[in-house]
Amino acid sequence: MPEPVTKRRCLLIDDSRVIRKVARRILEGLAYEVSEAENGEEALVKCRSAMPDLIIVDWNMPVMSGLEFVTFLRSMQGERRPKVMFCTTNSNTDDIRKGIEAGADEYVIKPFDQQSLQAKLQRIGAA
């Protein structure tokens, strides 16, 4: 009897419901099971209970920014290290460098479409 296939899990962190809806549709099309959080603090609670395979995080959010979230996430000890992608309107090279230094694997600029998101996910082995 074959092993049951476990779905890859993605945590989508963005204070915009519209962005979460668009990204969810794309990710579910790539066979991800998607959960959502509106800010970094809410996302950390979810990560502590079940670490996802992939995290897509906005940079500018209330309560805890994406940069603060990624910095904190990468300081957590654990056996699983999820792929992390910033999804933001911040497109200057200084911000991109800060995001990668904090522990992000990739960066996608809003607005994005299915092709650009999927291409970035493929680059980090998450598509």
Residue range 43-62, pLDDT digits in tens = 999 999 999 999 999 999 99
Residue 4 pLDDT > 70, yes or no? no
Q: How much is the average pLDDT of 76-84?
A: 85
Helix axes 114-123, 17-29, angle to 10 degrees: 60
DSSP 8-state assignment for residue 125: T
Report residue 69 as tokens. 């979230």
Which residue is listed with tokens 């992000």?
A: 104
pTM summary value = 0.93
**Phi/psi of residue 62, nearest 5 degrees:** -75, 170
Cα–Cα distance for residue pair 52/12, rounded to 1 Å: 10
